[in-house]
A and B are shown apart, each in its own frame.
Chain A
Amino acid sequence: QVQLVESGGGVVQPGRSLRLSCEASGFIFSSYGMHWVRQAPGKGLEWVSFISYDGSNTDYADSVKGRFTISRDKSKNTLYLQMNSLRAEDTAIYYCAKQILGYRGITHYWGQGALVTVPS
């Protein structure tokens, strides 16, 4: 069955960097677009970033553009989110999510989430 397992969260000081990983299993990772979505404590969902199945296309929310980089390694079945210049407002649970084949932007499997805390 499809599994997505995030790791790499933690407490990081403002201005520092952190890299999240999302290990995928149970499906052909190299065939699917992937997303990162975050949720600040007690708040709603915010889309963060997308990468196409082959890594050739990426997109970002304005709030993270220029600071975050999405990437993927098909040999490791792993999705990454490199987060630089972190701010207090980046504090959130970060979910990786698998896109439905043929339905751009719609995700049907999510990981359990990784908590990133940036103290103010």
Chain B
Amino acid sequence: DIQMTQSPSSVSASVGDRVTITCRASQSISSWLAWYQQKPGKAPNLLIYAASSLESGVPSRFSGTGSGTDFTLTISSLQPEDFATYYCQQANSFPLTFGGGTKVEIK
């Protein structure tokens, strides 16, 4: 199985900050990576797919980069509604696997 390792597990940031979350795959997954945002009590929401493609309706302050084993999600200017938990997920092969999550908290 492909292991997905996210870092950091949590980050404290202020509104307007630039936030970067990294995700590392245990083997190459090409660009078969997605990023999801989840708020408490809600289902996850797709932000980025194919490593760098922005899902329709997602603000442009979210961006994704990377290929192979190393990937990054960047929020260019953190907004109040962005405080949530973020997960990466590989879609290269079954079983699909998620990273452990990164909680973005208010500083």
Contacts and interface: CB of A to CB of B under 8 A. Distances in A.
Main secondary structure of the interface of B (DSSP, over half): loop
A79 B94 CA distance: 19
A47 B97 contact: yes
Interface string B8-30: 00000000000000000000000
B85 to A, nearest CB: 8
Contacts of B87: 44-45
Interface in A32-66: 35, 37, 44-47, 50, 59-62
Interface string B61-104: 00000000000000000000000000101111011111111000
A105 B32 contact: yes
Interface residues of B, number: 25
A115 B50 CA distance: 30
B82 to A, nearest CB: 19
Contacts of A112: 43
A62 B94 CA distance: 10
B43 A105 contact: no
Interface of A: 35, 37, 44-47, 50, 59-62, 95, 100, 103-108, 110-113
Interface of B: 1, 32, 34, 36, 38, 43-46, 49-50, 55, 87, 89-92, 94-101
